[in-house]
Amino acid sequence: MKFTLKIWRQKDSRSKGKFETYQIDNIPSDASFLEMLDILNDELIRKGEEPVAFDHDCREGICGMCSLHINGRAHGPDEDVTTCQLFMRKFKDGETIWVEPWRAKGFPVIKDLIVDRSAFDKILQAGGYISVNTGNAPDANAIPIPKDDADVAMDAATCIGCGACVATCKNSSAMLFVAAKVSHLAHLPQGKIEATRRVKAMVDKMEELGFGSCTNTGSCEVECPKNISIAHIAKLNREFLKANLEA
């Protein structure tokens, strides 16, 4: 397969970026998108040109680092996958593919296709944890949890923090990410003790870092590779309202 690649190139966070055009062929249909970029970079290095900088780690869809906007969609044209799980057979032979980084105030570009997603880490540091000392780990069934609550908590816990929700939202809102982290702990007894402080601290930090407001378009849920439901946003709003009433 051969492709025309329109890739965003930006030297650093202070420089202006632009799209550069590359032609590439002999790409196996079973190659992943990141493997295709590896092949492109090998060619660029052989030519003495600067390779395209992009982020990745696990290549198994569990770390959230492979954050690319491809042909106008977060993580590309496939459903329920991260970029590292996207295969070139999803594109037509000879197709032109536009590749760019996440676009959000909270995710400044570092270089080329790499953005600084440490804002998510700062939100988690503000309250996405349980700090109560409970001693040794209890037996798995020592604390009874209703199955419905356990299922919802596990659904929220699958969030990998990739940032697709922010990248696809017209307001660059991080509500789905924050909601998943709050909802996960709010449905478990271990998270009840710090619930009030947690939700207020995480929402305040989200707003401080420049993420936009949620206007319920649902685009975040559509593009989330882990199918996190926007029902968690409703849970976040309820927890936030309750926290402010108790203050």
The share of the chain scoring above pLDDT 90, in percent, equals 90
CATH 3.30.1490.20 for domain 118-246, yes or no, is: no
| Pairing outcome for strands 109-111 and 3-9 | unpaired
Domain coordinates in residue numbering, the chain: 3-110, 118-246
Check pLDDT > 90 for residue 139: no
CATH architecture of 3-110: Roll (3.10)
Instruction: Tell me the pLDDT tens digit for each residue of 89-105.
Output: 999 999 999 999 999 99
β strands within 92-226, DSSP E:
96-100, 109-111, 114-115
pLDDT number for residue 130: 86
pLDDT number for residue 143: 80
Instruction: Tell me the pLDDT tens digit for each residue of 26-36.
Output: 999 999 999 99
The span from the CA of 23 to the CA of 94, in Å, is: 10
pLDDT number for residue 82: 97
Check pLDDT > 70 for residue 134: no
Please name every residue paired with 23 in a beta bridge, in sequence order, or none if there are none: 4
Mean pLDDT of the chain: 94
Please state, as a whole number, how many other Cβ atoms lie within 10 Å of the Cβ of residue 192: 13
The share of the chain scoring above pLDDT 70, in percent, equals 97
Q: What are phi and psi of 213, to 5 degrees?
A: -90, 160
Instruction: Tell me the pLDDT tens digit for each residue of 160-208.
Output: 999 999 999 999 999 999 999 999 999 998 899 899 999 999 999 999 9
CB 94 within 8 A of CB 101: no
CB 83 within 8 A of CB 36: no
Check pLDDT > 90 for residue 77: yes
Check pLDDT > 80 for residue 44: yes
pLDDT number for residue 247: 64
The span from the CA of 56 to the CA of 72, in Å, is: 20
The span from the CA of 207 to the CA of 105, in Å, is: 11
Please name every residue paired with 73 in a beta bridge, in sequence order, or none if there are none: 70
Check pLDDT > 70 for residue 23: yes
